[in-house]
């Protein structure tokens, strides 16, 4: 199988870089300089019409959007490596739910918080307070889950932990801190300490 990873360091491609490392997936990398607009060139748009990173090309067929890539990686490589639940199991349903929760529900809230707090036309203290409260409520859900088990799916680390932790970790940089959630904070530190999370990603 040929896998080509289009990426830029310290970008939304970082979680996929970490997942590829965690799963030990052999791949080639093509750096797309998003600062210079390479993601909008005709050559790259022919691969990813969304004009963003990350993107994988698998045996000539592109797959883009971080969540879609994670789910494919989990299904294709994670089951055999014990890092993703098998199909038709209750754990698989939980994996899909929590990954979507991170990339859709929680990410939307922290993006709302970021826009309302940074300098610019969308800065709004009322919206910032509302988004902060929304993020706190969502972190409370995560605290409840991790307060009763060490990892997202139970007793063992999985790709779900990597996916959720990447979004929660990003949230800490935009004002959604986890200090008030001891189980989340301890879990996040454990995930971030894994070898796959280190290095140039």
Distance, first Cα to last Cα, the chain: 22
**Is-contact 132 125, C-beta < 8 A?**
no
3-class SS of residue 52: coil
Across the chain, which distance is largest between two alpha carbons, in Å? 51
Instruction: Order the strands of the 3-7 sheet from edge to edge.
Output: 28-31, 3-7, 55-58, 61-64
The span from the CA of 49 to the CA of 44, in Å, is: 8
The token pair that represents 1 in the structure block: 């199988």
User: Taking the complete model, does pTM exceed 0.75, yes or no?
Assistant: yes
pLDDT at 119: 77
pLDDT confidence of residue 191: 97
What pLDDT was estimated at residue 200? Answer: 59
Q: What is the pLDDT of residue 201?
A: 59
Task: Name the pairing type of β-strands 3-7 and 55-58.
Answer: antiparallel
In this structure, the dihedral spanned by the alpha carbons of residues 89, 94, 96 and 102, taken in order and rounded to 10 degrees, is -170
Q: How would you write the pLDDT of the chain (201 residues) with one tens digit per residue?
A: 999 999 999 899 999 999 999 999 999 999 999 999 999 999 999 999 999 999 999 999 999 999 999 999 999 999 999 999 999 999 999 999 999 999 999 999 999 998 888 777 877 788 888 989 999 999 999 999 999 999 999 999 999 999 999 999 999 999 999 999 999 999 999 999 999 998 655
pLDDT tens, residue by residue, 131-176:
899 999 999 999 999 999 999 999 999 999 999 999 999 999 999 9
* Integer angstrom CA distances of residue 10 from 99, 111, 121, 134: 20, 17, 25, 26
Q: Verify cis geometry, omega within 30 degrees of 0, for the bond prior to 54.
A: yes
């Amino acid at each position: 199988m040929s896998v080509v990873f289009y990426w830029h360091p310290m970008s939304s491609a970082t979680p996929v870089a970490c997942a590829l490392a965690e799963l030990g997936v052999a791949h080639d990398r093509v750096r797309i300089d998003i600062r210079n607009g390479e993601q909008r060139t005709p050559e790259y748009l022919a691969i990813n019409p969304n004009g963003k990173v990350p993107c994988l090309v698998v045996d000539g067929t592109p797959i883009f959007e971080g969540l879609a890539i994670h789910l494919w990686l989990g299904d294709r490589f994670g089951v055999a490596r014990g890092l993703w639940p098998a199909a038709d199991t209750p754990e698989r349903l939980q994996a899909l739910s929590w990954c979507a929760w991170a990339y859709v529900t929680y990410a939307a809230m922290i993006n709302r918080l970021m826009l309302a707090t940074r300098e610019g036309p969308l800065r709004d203290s009322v919206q910032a307070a509302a988004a902060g409260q929304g993020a706190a409520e969502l972190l409370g859900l995560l605290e409840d889950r991790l307060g009763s088990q060490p990892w997202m799916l139970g007793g063992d680390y999985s790709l779900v932990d990597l996916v959720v932790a990447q979004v929660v970790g990003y949230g800490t940089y935009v004002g959604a801190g986890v200090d008030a959630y001891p189980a989340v904070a301890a879990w996040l530190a454990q995930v971030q300490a894994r070898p796959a999370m280190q290095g140039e990603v």
